[in-house]
Amino acid sequence: MDPILKVEDLAISFGNNNVLKNVNFELYDNEILGIIGPNGAGKTVLLNILTGTLKPTSGRVTFMGKDILGVRIDERARLGFGRTFQVPRSFENMTAYENVMASAICGGQTTQREAAKRAEEILEFIGLEDKALVLAGSLKLLDKKRLEIGIALAPHPKVLMFDEVAGGLTESEISNILDIVKSLKIHGYSIIWIEHVIQTMLNGTDRVLLLADGYDIICDLPQIVLDSNEVEKVYLGVRKK
């Protein structure tokens, strides 16, 4: 089966800072691919390249058989890329309901009526229905993270990309997010899920990729990656230079 998303020889530098040197991976249909890596490994940079806000120095990104590096940011959203932001970027002076509606309208090109229906479904799904009419700016962190997922989900994207949706949350809040991600898999979504550490995603992902030093160091089943020497080296500081 062809992957839905394929990343080849991806590299990006900012001046002398070679953040990504050569990154390769594939995302398959209805797969949840976890990506872990230490602070500054370039996980967010990778998402920014995929969604078009950063241009790579070299490499290829193929989405459903099509090279998309030349495609505009907004077109990629309409092609089927949905993402969350590590630091939530919901529209603060709009209600949670309007946030989801706006995303459905822009990314999904729906009518207002369809968007309203979609927003109600989604808010219920992410457990935010009782805060639907609260301004996004006054939501607390867990709710903001949930809303990020809701916004990303609104246009029925083909690929969902989560950037540390569990970051900064408590244990029970994380399990709440985990439930959401798991049921998204049941709904058929393909997901790239970034977290700082692997433990969070151990039983929520199909495969996990370790990103460090600019390379895709290892990509395998979550338990195998957890037990690997590579993870040991990267996270316990015995990093080879």
Partner 1 sequence: MSIIEAKLNGIASQTGKVKIIVAAIILIIMGTLPFWGSGYMTNVFLLIFLYMSIGMMWNLLSGYAGLTSLGQQAFIGIGGYSVAVLTQVYGLSLIWGFAVGSVVGVVFALVISMPIFKMNGAYFTIGTWIIAEALYIFFVKWEFVNYGIGYPITAAYGIPMWGLYLASFIVGIGSIVIVTLLLKSRLGLTLMAMRDDSGAAEVRGVKLYRTKLICYLIAAFWVTITGCLLFLNQAYIVPSSAFTIDWTIACVFIVIIGGIGTIEGPIVGAVIYVFLRQILYGFPGISNIILGIIAIIIIIVAPKGIMGYLNNKFNLDIFSIRRRIKR
Ligand X SMILES: Nc1ncnc2c1ncn2[C@@H]1O[C@H](COP(=O)(O)OP(=O)(O)OP(=O)(O)O)[C@@H](O)[C@H]1O
Residues that bind Mg ion (CB under 5 A): 43-44, 86
Q: Which residues are near partner 1 by CB under 8 A?
A: 51-53, 73-74, 77-78, 83, 85, 89-95, 97-99, 101-103, 105-109, 111-112, 115-116, 120, 132-133, 151, 155
> Measured from the CB of residue 167, what is the shortest distance to partner 1 in angstroms?
18
Residue 238, burial from CB neighbour count under 10 angstroms (0-12, 13-18, 19+):
exposed
The closest alpha carbon to 208, from 33, 24, 28, 11, belongs to: 33
Residue 118: how many other CB atoms lie within 10 Å? 22
Per CB under 6 A, does 83 bind ligand X?
Answer: no
Q: How far is the CB of 19 from Mg ion (least distance, A)?
A: 11
Q: Using CB under 6 A as the criterion, what x/- string covers residues 18-57 for binding ligand X?
A: -x-----------------x-xxxxxxx------------
CB of 20 to ligand X, least distance (A): 8
Residue 42 interaction partner, one of Mg ion, partner 1, ligand X, none, beta carbon < 5-8 Å per kind: ligand X
166 contact, one of partner 1, Mg ion, ligand X, none, CB 5-8 Å limit per kind? none
* φ/ψ (deg, to 5) at 17: -85, 95
Considering the complex, what minimum distance in angstroms separates the CB of residue 113 from partner 1?
Answer: 9
Mask: binding to ligand X, 172-201, rule CB under 6 A, as x and -?
------------------------x-----
Cα separation, 132 vs 138, whole angstroms:
12
What is the C-alpha to C-alpha distance for residues 24 and 207, in angstroms, rounded to an integer? 14
Binding site for ligand X (CB under 6 A): 14, 17, 19, 37, 39-45, 86, 196
